[in-house]
Amino acid sequence: MTHHDQQSSIDELPSSTRAEGELPPLLRDPSFWGMSVTQFLGAFNDNLFKQLLLLLATPTAVELAAAQARGETAPDRQSEAMIVFAIAFLLFSGFAGWLADRTSKRTLIVAAKVAEIVVMALGMVGFLFYGSIGFSGMLVVLFLMGTQSAFFGPPKYGILPEIIHDRDLPQANGIFLMFTFMAIIFGVVLAGQIGSSVDTVWIGSAVCIVIAIVGTLTSLFVRRVTPANPGMKLRLSDFFVPPESIALVKRDRELLLAIIVTSSFWLLGSIVQQAVNALGKSQLGLGDQETSILAAMLGIGIPIGCLLGGKLSAGRINPRVVAWGAFGIVVSLGLMSLRGGPKEHLLGFYGSIPVLIVAGISTGVFIVPIQVAVQALPPANEKGRMIALMNQCNWIGIILGALLYQGALEICEHFNQPRNTAFAIGAAVMLPIALWYRPKERSLGD
């Protein structure tokens, strides 16, 4: 088969209806950069605040040893935080998706950023009075942060196909996700610097308030867009899963598989985030700063992988890129699960750093083509609700990941196994995807 014949056999996605030249080149588009910076700042806040709570929830090696000496257990409450954050998404993503199709996505983005300022202010108050409200009280603030993020999600991803050319989606998503995971690096590292001491943790929320204000200002650079489906009526089903979305994924097997895979990906992410914190604090006996450095290594690799994934995709959905990323994740997590003795970690702190970076690169390469598929495949008037459905499925995955991690901890405790065993569960989740999932190769048109 000739190269021309191969190109002709590739299904074409519907091209954009915008006139050529109507939009500026991607890298010179202030609207795109405004949205990217806004996403960066929002993700920074999410990860700084969440990592501060996760560090508070993770017992240290000293606390574990002291509890064992008393015949007790020191609870790891990370799963509680992950589940509370996820429940907010499950409750509100459906309505948020309806809003994203019914209302201008730009209006919702600005409104969500204003709400972020309020939530971060509540977070600072909560940390200042942590002695009175405790960890359970902070879970209420975390729920509110999850709610704000649920309303921000559909418009922030759904607006990209509306403000850029379809052919630019892979590169735009690579940059967009690069900013997202750079924010994870800075947020997680700063959380480690601040530490989980109740005397200093409020400083993190003070930083978050400033970042939320700046993010609100950058959101004003996003280009105004008209509602995709302004006459749509609100129905009870829109609070859950609209029948149109169910019908769409039923008839579009590729879109259904992409949503299932992204959900499995976030299930994996839920396990790995908690496993890294437990490896550092509970198994290797590291402090908050060193533990957060380990967590940030994923964040260093992911932006590189996102840019690489966008470059390798080159204006199309490329199944080979997905496969390379998936196998890289499986191998990296398999290495992280290896032990050097009954309770030891083979790689240790310094050996884990390059492996986690490679895991991050593989993650970025893997997720970019799938993210593009979920944005490009649905009809224009259903993109918001479809991204909301994806968000709901992703957070179901995160809840399942938290439960799997909690179950893994109990098994490790019962059989006296090291906590890095949880990485093996993550590798097992990704292995069938690496072996069998291949999205259909498609050109992205104009």
Tokens of 400: 């399942």
Q: What angle do CA 112, 262, 94 make, to 5 degrees?
A: 40
The reported pLDDT for the residue numbered 9 is: 34
pLDDT value of position 47: 85
Among the listed residues 270, 276, 267, 266, the one whose alpha carbon sits nearest the alpha carbon of residue 420? 276
By residue count, the chain amounts to 446
Answer whether 269's CB lies under 8 Å from 401's CB: yes
SS3 2: coil
Report if residue 4 sits inside a domain: no
CATH of the domain at 183: 1.20.1250.20
Give, as one character, the DSSP assignment of residue 281: I
- Residues with Cβ within 8 Å of 235's Cβ and at least 6 positions away in sequence, in order, are 242
Q: Let me know: does 280 contact 192? Beta carbons within 8 Å.
A: no
Does residue 311 lie in a domain region? yes
d(CA 245, CA 240): 10
SS in 3 state form for 309-366? HHHHHCCEECHHHHHHHHHHHHHHHHHHCCCCCCCCCCCHHHHHHHHHHHHHHHHHHH
Looking at residue 356, its pLDDT comes to 95
Amino acid of residue 336: M
Has residue 81 been placed in a domain? yes
Domain membership of residue 18 (yes or no) is no
Give the pLDDT score at 15: 39
> Within a domain: residue 415?
yes
Which pLDDT does position 62 carry in this prediction? 64
Q: List strands edge to edge, sheet with 316-317.
A: 11-12, 442-443, 316-317
> How many domains would you assign to the chain?
1
Using DSSP's 3-state secondary structure scheme, residue 11 falls into strand
What pLDDT, on a 0 to 100 scale, did the predictor assign at position 29? Answer: 92
Answer yes or no: is 384 within a domain. yes
pLDDT value, residue 152: 93
Q: What is the pLDDT along the chain (446 residues), one digit of tens a residue?
A: 433 433 333 333 443 334 344 788 888 899 999 999 999 999 999 888 888 888 888 776 666 767 776 776 667 788 888 888 888 878 888 888 889 888 999 999 999 999 999 999 999 999 888 888 888 899 999 999 989 988 998 898 788 888 888 788 888 888 887 888 788 778 888 888 887 677 777 888 888 999 999 999 999 999 998 998 888 888 888 787 778 888 888 888 899 999 999 999 888 988 998 899 889 988 898 888 888 888 888 878 888 888 898 888 877 888 899 999 999 999 999 999 998 877 789 999 999 999 999 999 999 899 888 888 887 788 877 777 787 788 788 888 888 988 898 888 888 888 888 889 999 999 999 999 999 999 888 876 55
Q: Where are the alpha helices (DSSP H) in 195-226?
A: 202-219
**For the whole model, what pTM was predicted?**
0.71
Q: In this predicted structure, what is the pLDDT of residue 61?
A: 63
Residue 208 lies in a domain: yes
Neighbours of 95 (CB within 10 A): 17
Range of the domain at 416: 28-221+232-443
pLDDT tens digits for 401-435? 888 988 888 888 888 888 899 999 999 999 999 99
Question: CA–CA separation, 398 vs 392, rounded Å?
Answer: 10
| 1 within a domain of the structure (yes/no) | no
| Angstrom distance (rounded) from CA 184 to CA 38 | 14
